[in-house]
Structure 1
Amino acid sequence: MEYQLEELLPLTARLAEKYTSKESSSVTYETAQMLMEAVLYCVRECRDTSEYTLVSEHTVKAEDAYRIGYDRVVEKTRKAKEIYDKLIKDFCDYGCSNYRETILKGMPAFFIAYDARFRPQDHLLTLDYPTVNIHREMCGIDVIYQYLCDIVVEKDFLECFPQQAVRQLLERVQSGNSTGYMGNLSELVLVTAFGCMITDRQLSQLRLCSQDMEAAEQYFRGDDLQRTEGKLRMLLRVLAEKSGRQIWASYFDSLCHEYAVRIQNGIEYGNLETVFFG
């Protein structure tokens, strides 16, 4: 969707009037830039609406695209808040302070401060707790909405394991680390679950011992990267099918390649214990 500058400037000017409550005829360069970005953000949001796809983009005026996009931003913010309110009803941080701070303190601050009219492109939070899938290309409510959707999938995954087992796994990983665990909890649990499946340990315990590393190495010995990755994907499919959560297979797929590389390096350098926690 392409619009000429002369089509966007009047929208920015009208937005500036609202920003100053018509008390000033001018704004700073920085403010003007912020408002132009707000207009562009909403116009881009229009592309994803069913209302827009019903007509040719050549027939959608810039002001209509902005209006449709702005309405979509407001609606997406409302949906994100609904997801969040449901998420925290039975939220458990498992003793991970970064997870707790981001979800229980950061998110409420976002919904209080988010400005859909004048700064929809600013998502305010640094999202210090990482999800498995990082959406660097997104900003504004788009990234917050997707982040919360990802957190819901990961929360569902974590809840399939005994809470105490997850807590104890995290405690073992954090032992001796004064800064606490800054990674993703579901990733930690998933790779440990892989180790348990490989070594016939109980998944419900999420616990491996040093002797299990030999069995894990034996399972992957002689495999190239592609075959190692394939084995991890097979384990993931089995886990998803047994749990009745087919979404896991696609959601956690990216981790299979990452951990295949780590496993190959772990076998080569004799430090497989740095891959499989427990």
Structure 2
Amino acid sequence: MADFPVNDFLASLPWTALAVAGVLAVTFAVAVAQQRHSVMDVAWGPGFVAVAAVSWLLSAGTGDDGRRLLLVLLTGLWGLRLGTHIGWRARGGHEDPRYEAMLSDAPGSRNVYALRRVYLPQGVVMFFVSLTVQVGMFATGALGWLALLGVVLWVVGFVFETVGDWQLAQFKKDPANKGTVLNTGLWRYTRHPNYFGDAAVWTGLFLIAADSWPGVLTILSPALMVWALAGKTGKPLTEKAMSARPGYKEYVESTSGFIPWPPRRPAGGQPGGR
């Protein structure tokens, strides 16, 4: 801990918090103009990129240059891809039903209520989860085998997330697939390759940070991301929305809920997938 530049790190926190606030302020302005607060989903990934970029600049001359470069590049690639994908998917659309339901009982101003219910909580989560990247930027130890393992896991997660999103987009392009269940490609091995990919990406970033003390202390940051994806806002809400689709019950019975795994053979005798 003696080698970790504690004072420099603490001095950077107001600036990274300001980066989060800046991203949220711009997003809120766009949301009000478009009358749909689901644009927050588009800003989610780029928000982490902004934090990583500020940390990278402020950690110059203190943290290990190899780790700093690795963290800013991997966070940037993940966040910009995610923001671009969600932005393209949501172009020209209306308010997401999830946000519509969340804000439907707004007491008074819908926009003010959205600030409290959407932007503030997501800003806090964004800052907390990104701590693993922020601490890693200031860590002074050289890259080791744990960081290499983190890069491998990041690559696995990025591939799952990118390919899974692409396969789902191609599936939705065919009108004949409307209301049905995707059960091929990566979706054959996990019902949520995109959420699993996100979880693997952030676990990988944590391992890169944890390779040098005190990065291991940020374990709650990726844990929060994984918990949200697998147990709170990601997987559960998606499966609730899809539960009434024909064949979804059989798909759940045959396909892993999160960690990729070969499909089980359901009672009907046919292998499943999503």
Using structure 1 for the length normalisation, give the TM-score.
Answer: 0.30
Q: Which has the larger radius of gyration?
A: 1
**RCO higher in 1 or 2 (8 Å CA, sep ≥ 6)?**
2
